[in-house]
Amino acid sequence: MSADSPSTDVPLPDFLSSSTSILLGKANDLFDEILEAAVEPFGLRSKDFIVLTAIDSIGPQSQQQLARTHGIDRTTMVSVVDGLERLGLVQRARNPDDRRKYAIGLTSEGQALLRHKLGPAMLNALDTFLAPFTHDEREIFNKFLWRLVHERGQAPDQGTGQGRVVPGGTVR
Protein backbone atom coordinates (compact mmCIF):
# COMPACT_ATOMS: atom_id res chain seq x y z
CA MET A 1 0.00 0.00 0.00
CA SER A 2 1.14 3.04 -0.75
CA ALA A 3 2.88 5.45 0.66
CA ASP A 4 5.28 7.27 -0.75
CA SER A 5 2.85 9.87 -0.02
CA PRO A 6 4.77 12.97 0.75
CA SER A 7 2.48 13.53 3.63
CA THR A 8 2.42 17.13 2.80
CA ASP A 9 0.49 19.77 4.59
CA VAL A 10 -2.53 19.13 2.50
CA PRO A 11 -5.31 18.55 4.97
CA LEU A 12 -7.18 15.32 4.72
CA PRO A 13 -10.76 16.00 3.73
CA ASP A 14 -12.84 15.20 6.74
CA PHE A 15 -16.10 14.49 5.01
CA LEU A 16 -16.82 11.42 7.01
CA SER A 17 -19.50 11.03 9.61
CA SER A 18 -19.70 14.62 10.73
CA SER A 19 -19.42 16.41 7.42
CA THR A 20 -22.24 18.53 6.13
CA SER A 21 -22.31 16.60 2.88
CA ILE A 22 -22.68 13.20 4.47
CA LEU A 23 -25.15 14.47 7.05
CA LEU A 24 -27.31 16.11 4.44
CA GLY A 25 -27.56 12.86 2.51
CA LYS A 26 -28.37 10.91 5.64
CA ALA A 27 -31.00 13.41 6.72
CA ASN A 28 -32.59 13.20 3.31
CA ASP A 29 -32.54 9.40 3.32
CA LEU A 30 -34.05 9.39 6.78
CA PHE A 31 -36.87 11.69 5.80
CA ASP A 32 -37.55 9.69 2.66
CA GLU A 33 -37.98 6.60 4.75
CA ILE A 34 -40.36 8.31 7.15
CA LEU A 35 -42.26 9.84 4.25
CA GLU A 36 -42.69 6.67 2.27
CA ALA A 37 -43.72 4.78 5.38
CA ALA A 38 -46.37 7.42 6.04
CA VAL A 39 -48.10 7.09 2.67
CA GLU A 40 -47.50 3.39 2.07
CA PRO A 41 -50.60 2.34 4.06
CA PHE A 42 -52.66 4.19 1.46
CA GLY A 43 -51.00 2.43 -1.43
CA LEU A 44 -49.20 5.63 -2.44
CA ARG A 45 -45.71 6.97 -2.87
CA SER A 46 -44.55 10.36 -1.69
CA LYS A 47 -44.66 11.55 -5.29
CA ASP A 48 -48.38 10.82 -5.37
CA PHE A 49 -48.92 12.95 -2.31
CA ILE A 50 -47.09 15.86 -3.85
CA VAL A 51 -49.22 15.68 -6.99
CA LEU A 52 -52.44 15.46 -5.00
CA THR A 53 -51.43 18.43 -2.90
CA ALA A 54 -50.53 20.48 -5.94
CA ILE A 55 -53.93 19.87 -7.50
CA ASP A 56 -55.71 20.60 -4.27
CA SER A 57 -53.85 23.88 -3.88
CA ILE A 58 -53.72 25.19 -7.41
CA GLY A 59 -56.67 23.47 -8.99
CA PRO A 60 -57.04 21.17 -12.00
CA GLN A 61 -53.97 21.15 -14.20
CA SER A 62 -52.61 19.44 -17.28
CA GLN A 63 -50.24 16.56 -16.88
CA GLN A 64 -47.40 18.55 -18.37
CA GLN A 65 -47.92 21.35 -15.92
CA LEU A 66 -47.86 18.88 -13.06
CA ALA A 67 -44.76 17.28 -14.51
CA ARG A 68 -42.85 20.49 -15.06
CA THR A 69 -43.71 21.94 -11.69
CA HIS A 70 -42.27 18.99 -9.88
CA GLY A 71 -39.36 18.12 -12.11
CA ILE A 72 -40.90 14.88 -13.25
CA ASP A 73 -40.79 13.70 -16.83
CA ARG A 74 -44.12 13.93 -18.67
CA THR A 75 -43.99 10.22 -19.55
CA THR A 76 -43.53 9.42 -15.91
CA MET A 77 -46.44 11.63 -15.01
CA VAL A 78 -48.66 9.48 -17.19
CA SER A 79 -48.19 6.49 -14.94
CA VAL A 80 -48.46 8.60 -11.80
CA VAL A 81 -51.84 9.91 -12.91
CA ASP A 82 -52.79 6.41 -14.08
CA GLY A 83 -52.22 5.10 -10.58
CA LEU A 84 -54.11 7.90 -8.91
CA GLU A 85 -57.00 7.51 -11.32
CA ARG A 86 -57.10 3.77 -10.75
CA LEU A 87 -57.45 4.47 -7.05
CA GLY A 88 -60.26 6.90 -7.77
CA LEU A 89 -58.38 9.85 -6.30
CA VAL A 90 -58.15 11.98 -9.44
CA GLN A 91 -60.04 12.14 -12.67
CA ARG A 92 -59.07 13.11 -16.18
CA ALA A 93 -61.33 15.73 -17.70
CA ARG A 94 -60.71 17.40 -21.01
CA ASN A 95 -59.73 21.04 -21.01
CA PRO A 96 -62.41 22.65 -23.19
CA ASP A 97 -60.08 25.49 -24.15
CA ASP A 98 -57.42 23.17 -25.48
CA ARG A 99 -58.60 19.69 -26.17
CA ARG A 100 -55.10 18.33 -26.25
CA LYS A 101 -54.81 18.91 -22.54
CA TYR A 102 -56.39 17.18 -19.66
CA ALA A 103 -57.62 18.97 -16.59
CA ILE A 104 -56.54 16.62 -13.86
CA GLY A 105 -58.73 17.21 -10.86
CA LEU A 106 -59.31 15.63 -7.49
CA THR A 107 -62.31 13.44 -7.00
CA SER A 108 -64.27 13.96 -3.84
CA GLU A 109 -62.66 10.79 -2.54
CA GLY A 110 -59.25 12.16 -3.41
CA GLN A 111 -59.90 15.42 -1.67
CA ALA A 112 -61.30 13.72 1.39
CA LEU A 113 -58.39 11.31 1.62
CA LEU A 114 -55.88 14.10 1.20
CA ARG A 115 -57.38 16.38 3.78
CA HIS A 116 -58.46 13.90 6.41
CA LYS A 117 -55.89 11.15 6.12
CA LEU A 118 -52.88 11.94 3.98
CA GLY A 119 -52.39 15.48 5.22
CA PRO A 120 -52.34 14.52 8.88
CA ALA A 121 -50.15 11.53 8.10
CA MET A 122 -47.62 13.74 6.37
CA LEU A 123 -47.68 16.33 9.12
CA ASN A 124 -47.03 13.55 11.54
CA ALA A 125 -44.16 12.28 9.45
CA LEU A 126 -42.60 15.72 9.37
CA ASP A 127 -43.07 16.01 13.09
CA THR A 128 -41.30 12.70 13.57
CA PHE A 129 -38.46 13.84 11.38
CA LEU A 130 -38.07 17.15 13.18
CA ALA A 131 -38.51 15.62 16.61
CA PRO A 132 -35.03 16.64 17.79
CA PHE A 133 -35.93 20.30 17.26
CA THR A 134 -37.95 22.73 19.26
CA HIS A 135 -40.59 24.76 17.51
CA ASP A 136 -38.29 27.74 17.11
CA GLU A 137 -35.49 25.58 15.82
CA ARG A 138 -37.79 24.11 13.21
CA GLU A 139 -38.47 27.56 11.86
CA ILE A 140 -34.79 28.42 11.79
CA PHE A 141 -34.00 25.16 10.04
CA ASN A 142 -36.72 25.82 7.48
CA LYS A 143 -35.31 29.29 6.81
CA PHE A 144 -31.87 27.81 6.37
CA LEU A 145 -33.17 25.37 3.80
CA TRP A 146 -35.07 28.09 2.02
CA ARG A 147 -31.98 30.25 1.69
CA LEU A 148 -29.92 27.27 0.56
CA VAL A 149 -32.36 26.61 -2.25
CA HIS A 150 -33.36 30.14 -3.24
CA GLU A 151 -30.48 32.46 -2.42
CA ARG A 152 -28.46 31.38 -5.41
CA GLY A 153 -26.58 33.43 -7.89
CA GLN A 154 -26.32 36.57 -5.86
CA ALA A 155 -23.28 37.48 -3.95
CA PRO A 156 -23.71 36.04 -0.49
CA ASP A 157 -21.11 37.10 1.92
CA GLN A 158 -18.01 35.10 2.15
CA GLY A 159 -16.36 32.23 0.50
CA THR A 160 -15.48 32.11 -3.09
CA GLY A 161 -17.90 34.11 -5.06
CA GLN A 162 -18.24 31.03 -7.07
CA GLY A 163 -21.93 30.91 -6.64
CA ARG A 164 -23.46 29.14 -9.50
CA VAL A 165 -26.77 29.92 -11.03
CA VAL A 166 -28.82 26.87 -10.61
CA PRO A 167 -31.01 26.09 -13.54
CA GLY A 168 -34.61 25.22 -13.30
CA GLY A 169 -36.30 25.19 -10.07
CA THR A 170 -38.42 28.21 -9.86
CA VAL A 171 -41.19 27.45 -7.50
CA ARG A 172 -43.52 29.96 -6.19
Partner DNA sequence: TATTGTTATACTCTATAACTATA
Partner DNA sequence: TATAGTTATAGAGTATAACAATA
According to the binding rule CB under 7 A, does residue 49 interact with DNA?
no
Q: Directed axis angle between helix 20-39 and helix 119-129, to 10°? A: 150
Q: Which of residues 124-163 bind a copy of itself (CB under 8 A)?
A: 124, 126-135, 137-138, 140-142, 144-149, 151-152, 156-163
**55 vs 81 by CB, closer to DNA:** 81
What is the contact mask toward a copy of itself in residues 66 to 105, using x (rule: CB under 8 A)?
A: -----x-------------------x-x-----------x
Q: Which of residues 136-155 bind DNA (CB under 7 A)?
A: none
Residue 111 CB, nearest approach to DNA (Å): 20
**92 vs 138 by CB, closer to DNA:** 92
Which partner from the list a copy of itself, DNA, none does 89 bind, CB cut-off 5 to 8 Å by kind?
A: none
Cα 167 from Cα 152, distance rounded (Å): 10
- Residue 158 phi, psi (nearest 5): -120, -170
